[in-house]
Amino acid sequence: MDKTLNVVELFAGVGGFRLGLEKANSDVFKTVWANQWEPSRKTQDAFDCYMRNFSEGIHSNEDITTVSDEVFQQLEIDLLVGGFPCQDYSVARSLSGEKGLEGKKGVLFWEIKRVLENSHPKYVLLENVDRLLKSPSKQRGRDFAIMLATFRDLNYIVEWRVVNAAEYGCAQKRRRVFIFAYKKDLDFADKQLRFSKNEIVFKEGFFAKTFPVKLEPYKGRESMHELPLDILQISDEFSFGFHTAGVMIDGKFFTAHTEVANESFIPLKDILLDEDKVEEKFYLTEAQAEKFAYLRGPKKIERTSATGHKYIFSEGGMSPTDDLDGPGRTMLTSEGTVNRSSHIVEVNGRKRFLTPIECERLNSFPDNWTAGMPDRMRYFCMGNALVVDLITKMGKTILDIDAEENVTSEQIELLI
């Protein structure tokens, strides 16, 4: 069957979603529209990188909030993807009352909602920091509950899972929550509805098929709940920290703390360049080495709070250099700078930063994907990006799901 799936990529960065999906099958996944805009920056390095690496489809470099509804109405979208910031998603009654609800201004999740309302894609795949499941700290889980209710009201079933890339065959400990939503009128939804929510989370669902887990929750942590019907009530009152996995159907959700079934990772040493290819500028100067020894060492420092109260800030020590036999730690946008979070590797007795190419490898991007921009921006873009191989795995599951959509019994006979 010559099926294609039209993809729209929001908050596209340097194109991690698109690359991952194309690695799964570039004949089927066709990105028809992609948007990337770095606020308050003259240079648009991520967008330029996207343009260098991809040619097909429309590439928009504008603030997504300024793109009109008509643009989305004209697109036929099967799959919407995007990694969006974790923000405050609270809602309030609009001043004029009759206009309904108003989300906080500048919140980018409402842009995702707007695309859904205007184009009704079959599938949605989103990525965010795992903190989203518990935020804000004073009303745990409220923001995620608002997202779930938004999908409920638009007739989607939602599954979510926190995935640590280093547990599923990748080189970086990067824990991110992935959210997969699908329309309730799909055959796949029909099939899922035959299972219990527990079976979906542990065995049969999108994430269970892609990233297998042990069949029991960690320390028995699981529970079943129902979202209040009124999203305003959720915004005002909801407080519940979601577990690492779950499914929501018609506002009822089951959530559990899952554990990887068979852990596997790529050790840091396997993604390092040959030392003769590492430029001198990446090796630490004596002053930098000293600064790192301090930053990564244990410390107890007296500090004064804004109210004048004195307290002792203490921080445990970490190993002076990163373990080459383990996976890399989480890469941040400040990677490559003198900062406690930057990786430092010691090879042949010399300490150095990771190079931008090695950072691309930590995210399973091809070498030199971000070449052409300053090193500082290459690190920044990789800190923002995602682990591409995880998207490839999820892309393959979407292909399996979609291959069975609307297949008539005659077509099944022809396939046999």
Ligand X SMILES: C[S@@+](CC[C@H](N)C(=O)[O-])C[C@H]1O[C@@H](n2cnc3c(N)ncnc32)[C@H](O)[C@@H]1O
Instruction: Find the binding residues for ligand X in span 72-91 (CB under 6 A).
Output: 83
- Contact pattern for ligand X over residues 100 through 139, marking x by CB under 6 A: ----------------------------------------
Stretch that binds ligand X, among 37-45, 167-175, 239-247, 288-296 (CB under 6 A): 37-45
Helix (H) or strand (E) holding 163: strand 156-164
Residue closest to ligand X (Cβ):
13
Q: Does 7 bind ligand X (CB under 6 A)?
A: no
Instruction: Find the binding residues for ligand X in span 270-309 (CB under 6 A).
Output: none
Annotated catalytic residue within 49, 86, 170, 381: 86
Q: How far apart are the first and last CA of the chain?
A: 14
3-class secondary-structure state, position 284? coil
Q: Does 39 bind ligand X (CB under 6 A)?
A: yes
| Residue number with CB closer to ligand X (86 or 249) | 86
Nearest-approach distance from CB 85 to ligand X, in angstroms: 6
Q: Does 397 bind ligand X (CB under 6 A)?
A: no
Structure tokens at 76: 């036929």
- Contact pattern for ligand X over residues 231 through 260, marking x by CB under 6 A: ------------------------------
| Residue number with CB closer to ligand X (104 or 225) | 104
- Asked if 322 contacts 343 with a C-beta cutoff of 8 angstroms, the reply is yes
Stretch that binds ligand X, among 10-18, 158-166, 195-203, 307-315 (CB under 6 A): 10-18
Out of 63, 69, 237, 323, the only residue in the binding site for ligand X (CB under 6 A) is 63
| Residue number with CB closer to ligand X (183 or 378) | 378
86 catalytic? Reply is: yes
Stretch that binds ligand X, among 11-19, 154-162, 246-254, 406-414 (CB under 6 A): 11-19
Q: At what angle do helices 16-25 and 388-403 cross, to 10 degrees?
A: 50
What secondary structure letter does DSSP report for 285?
P
Helix (H) or strand (E) holding 249: strand 245-249
- Asked if 119 contacts 163 with a C-beta cutoff of 8 angstroms, the reply is no
Distance, in Å, from the CA atom of 386 to the CA atom of 15, rounded to the nearest integer, reads 9
Q: Does 35 bind ligand X (CB under 6 A)?
A: yes
Tell the residue number behind the tokens 């077509």, with chain if given.
411
Distance, in Å, from the CA atom of 35 to the CA atom of 32, rounded to the nearest integer, reads 10
Nearest-approach distance from CB 69 to ligand X, in angstroms: 16
* Strand partners of residue 58: 33
Structure tokens at 136: 């804000």
| Residue number with CB closer to ligand X (7 or 46) | 46
Contacts of 274-278 with CB under 8 Å at 24 or more apart are 275/347, 275/348, 278/352, 278/355
- Asked if 239 contacts 140 with a C-beta cutoff of 8 angstroms, the reply is yes
Nearest-approach distance from CB 267 to ligand X, in angstroms: 24
Instruction: Find the binding residues for ligand X in span 337-396 (CB under 6 A).
Output: 384-386
3-class secondary-structure state, position 261? coil
| Residue number with CB closer to ligand X (83 or 395) | 83
Question: Any alpha helices (H) in 271-387, and if so which ranges?
Answer: 286-296, 356-362, 375-384
User: Which residues are catalytic, by number?
Assistant: 86
Where along the sequence are the contacts to ligand X (CB under 6 A)?
11-17, 35-39, 46, 63-65, 83, 384-386
